[in-house]
């Protein structure tokens, strides 16, 4: 089932460049979902340093992404991607329930390590443990989380791995260990998809987005 009218989606504009797609991984997750389902959409860029009044009226907390369904603006990437899947089931991006938690803690572990000022607080090891677990999963089930075909869990993880790679490389000169070969292959696979190339934030904007949080 195709949609004739393009869907409207509010996403973050780049820091210091209000006409360029910004660095929000949750926005990219929704854009990836729309791209993989070949759904037309209009991305409305929201400048976070000067949020327009009409936007604050539909999103009092000032959060993105927001997608318009049946004249109603819906927040939260979890909810949005679920509605997209229900309304436009083909091609299916459903994650098998037994794989739903794969990679789920990576983003949280990455943020904790990124913001950490104490090299002995265990945050680096916690992230490594999560990446090792992902590597083991991909070794047995890959190349994607649920096998040969991409699913919602991959589209959620792809932007977060992009942020992890760029931000840790820039702020901590840290890279994913070479021995995690399945993770490295997975990242290459995800980042080479047309949908990813069309929706990724440029590295400079990922860095600009994290800078205030790292330096806080």
Q: Which residues are catalytic?
A: 24
3-state secondary structure of 147: strand
Q: Helix (H, G, I), strand (E, B), or coil: what is residue 5?
A: coil
- How many CB atoms sit inside 10 A of residue 68's CB? 17
Strand 41-46 versus strand 66-69 pairing type: unpaired
What stretches of the chain adopt beta strand conformation (E)?
7-14, 17-21, 41-46, 66-69, 72-75
């Amino acid at each position: 089932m195709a949609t004739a009218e393009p869907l409207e989606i509010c996403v973050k504009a780049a820091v210091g460049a209000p006409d360029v797609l910004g660095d929000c991984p949750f926005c990219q997750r929704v854009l990836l979902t729309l791209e993989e389902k070949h759904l037309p959409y209009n991305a409305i860029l929201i400048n976070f340093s000067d949020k327009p009044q009409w936007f604050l009226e539909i999103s009092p907390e000032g959060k993105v992404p927001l997608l318009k369904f049946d004249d109603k603006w819906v927040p939260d990437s979890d909810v949005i991607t679920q509605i997209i899947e229900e309304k436009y089931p083909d091609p299916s991006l459903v994650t098998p329930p037994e794989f739903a938690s794969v990679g789920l803690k990576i983003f949280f572990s990455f943020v904790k390590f990124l913001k950490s000022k104490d090299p002995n607080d265990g945050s680096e090891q916690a992230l490594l443990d999560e990446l090792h677990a992902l590597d083991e999963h991909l070794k047995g089930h890959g190349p994607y989380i649920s096998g040969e075909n991409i699913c919602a869990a991959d589209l959620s993880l792809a932007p977060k791995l992009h942020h992890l790679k760029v931000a840790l490389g820039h702020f901590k000169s840290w890279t994913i260990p070479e021995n995690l070969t399945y993770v490295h292959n997975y990242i290459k696979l995800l980042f080479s998809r047309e949908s990813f190339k069309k929706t990724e934030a440029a590295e400079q904007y990922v860095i600009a987005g994290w800078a205030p949080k790292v330096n806080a």
